[in-house]
Structure 1
Amino acid sequence: MTRIDGHLLDPRQLPDPRQLSDARQAESKQHFAAHAALFDPTTFGHIERLGIGPGWRCWEVGAGGTTVISWLAKRVGPTGRVLATDIDTSWQTRAARSPLEVRVHDVAADPPPIEAYDLVHARLVLADVADPERAVKSMIRALRPGGRLLIEEADVALQPLACPDEYGPAQELANRLRHAVRTLLAGRGADLAYGRRMPRLLREAGLRHVESDAYFPLASPACAALEATTLQQLRQDLISEGLTTADEIDHHLSNIATPTMDVATAPLISTWGRKP
């Protein structure tokens, strides 16, 4: 068990699936905390290399939590501005203060903010929106000339295993369940290879100096916590589709709660470029 962003990440203490209506908020907090623990250092490193400093105007798209926007607010200081948007802002625990503003906004449907931003950032957002191409164009329109866009998306198909080191029955079960999750998502129309497309998509959208890299987390407590919350959220669908059983899920959750289970997550593809 480990404490990350103020939350205890322990797969053994996740909500009972029979009480999902009461547990949804707790699951979301666990999910956001795991993402923050896994990906915040990578995100912050990229933004620092893009040159963020006092006075910058930043738009965080699909914020989903407070760790990134709080970090941005510290970097831009009192002369800067950070706009955090999401279709659901219930994660906001207190009223935002300058330089931070939180606003309900759908990047794939609503017009972009009229401000000209130095940085627009979205992490694990585009694969879930109704019209990702429109979302990208909206983010680019909101940039000032020379402004930077940083988009970070998972690529589930690039590394499809929950346990790359498959040396025993527990690891084999983990990989079967990861395959079941991929099958379920693909059946829903999800693009499991979306992350790798981002360099080409940003160049085609007109950005210059486009670059990209990948981060592949392995054997972290947050990897196990993210695996557990994902399975809890998809549990009933996986079972009803005949992709696995309740016993298999429970057995896997018990396995990943042990310190010897090395669980991996899908690689995070970070892609950035400048508006001409």
Structure 2
Amino acid sequence: MGTYVFDQAWARERERLTALEDLYDDQSLHRLAALGVAEGWRCLEVGCGAGSVARWLADRVGPSGRVLATDFDPRFAEGHGLPNLDVRRHDILVDPLDDDAYDLVHARAVLEHVPRRELALERMVAATRPGGWVVVEDFDIGGPMTVAAARYYPEEHAELAERLGRALERLFTERGVDASLGRRLPEMLASAGLTDVAAEVRAPVLSGGSQDFFRLTLERLRPGLVAGGLLEDAELDRFLDLLTLPAFRYAPNFMVIAWGRRPEPA
């Protein structure tokens, strides 16, 4: 599929993906509900991860609806026991996908890892029926957003937070990941021919020890950060220790959610 930097074989990857869901599902599910996902809809979840959004969609569309959840490695979404939810190994860039088939197509933290992002989005739009919705979520953690996130850390740790953010951006860039894709999503959706395009940014501010997504992400990326000379072991140790302290407040990542409607034929 592309440049995904988080190996599914890592012993704690399911835990990391579940923590991501805990952190960002509120934004995703609120938007999907607001767009009217209802009984009988057909939905496609691209890059389903641990499967929480796909399971929510299956419950929402009911027995008369259908949800297809795809992933390059769908192991963590399988075994759900829901009769209206299919989980399939699938590469959005090359594997077959029905056209005009879905009332909703959703992807979260997927396109930033795909080398041919415009093609992936084009295929998602083609799979959406006229009048249906495409919803895409990706991070924006590059450039000025690194400085912005550091402002939400205690002042004495802001410099370390900014260094960490720049190190992550560089690591992602070196591996072909677009760390700033989130900010371009509205333009991409409009360029793909969608109408009624809009977007929101979620920037949670957390207390140390309250959420594990950022800590697990850093633990997974630590070998690359250190081996690449982007951060020292001691700096990562210090930061990981801070993430366990209840008095420590921080902003992990900015997530952009953008949506648009495939137009009806004239």
CA distance in 1, matches of 2:96, 2:9: 33
CA distance in 1, matches of 2:9, 2:37: 37
Amino acid of the residue matched to residue 56 of structure 1?
A: W
Amino acid of the residue matched to residue 196 of structure 1?
A: R
In structure 1, the partner of 2:234 is 247
CA distance in 2, matches of 1:136, 1:275: 12
In structure 2, the partner of 1:272 is 259
In structure 1, the partner of 2:145 is 159
TM-score by length of 2: 0.88
- Unaligned runs of at least 5 residues, structure 1: 1-20
The number of residue pairs the alignment matches comes to 255
Deviation at 1:183, TM superposition (A): 2.0
CA distance in 1, matches of 2:116, 2:171: 21
CA distance in 1, matches of 2:228, 2:245: 28
Aligned partners of 2:208 and 2:242 also within 8 Å: no
Q: Which moved more, 1:90-99 or 1:159-168?
A: 159-168
1:1-276 correspondence runs (5 A) = 24-26=10-12, 28-94=13-79, 96-114=81-99, 116-157=101-142, 159-161=145-147, 162-220=149-207, 225-276=212-263
CA 1:23–1:193: 2 relative to 1, 3 Å:
closer
Deviations 1:212-231 (A, max 9, x none): 11111112568852221121
Aligned partners of 2:205 and 2:251 also within 8 Å: yes
In structure 2, the partner of 1:13 is none
CA distance in 2, matches of 1:259, 1:52: 37
Amino acid of the residue matched to residue 232 of structure 2?
A: T
Deviations 1:24-58 (A, max 9, x none): 132x1222122111111111111111111100000
CA distance in 2, matches of 1:83, 1:102: 6
- What SS does structure 1 have at the residue aligned with 2:130? strand
Query: What percentage of residue pairs aligned between the two structures are identical?
Result: 38
Deviation at 1:242, TM superposition (A): 1.4
- Unaligned runs of at least 5 residues, structure 2: 1-6
Aligned partners of 2:209 and 2:246 also within 8 Å: no
TM-score by length of 1: 0.85
Aligned partners of 1:199 and 1:212 also within 8 Å: yes
Amino acid of the residue matched to residue 134 of structure 2?
A: L
Q: Which moved more, 1:249-258 or 1:119-128?
A: 249-258
- What SS does structure 1 have at the residue aligned with 2:206? coil
CA 1:40–1:224: 2 relative to 1, 3 Å:
closer
Moved over 6 A (4+): none
- What SS does structure 2 have at the residue aligned with 1:46? helix
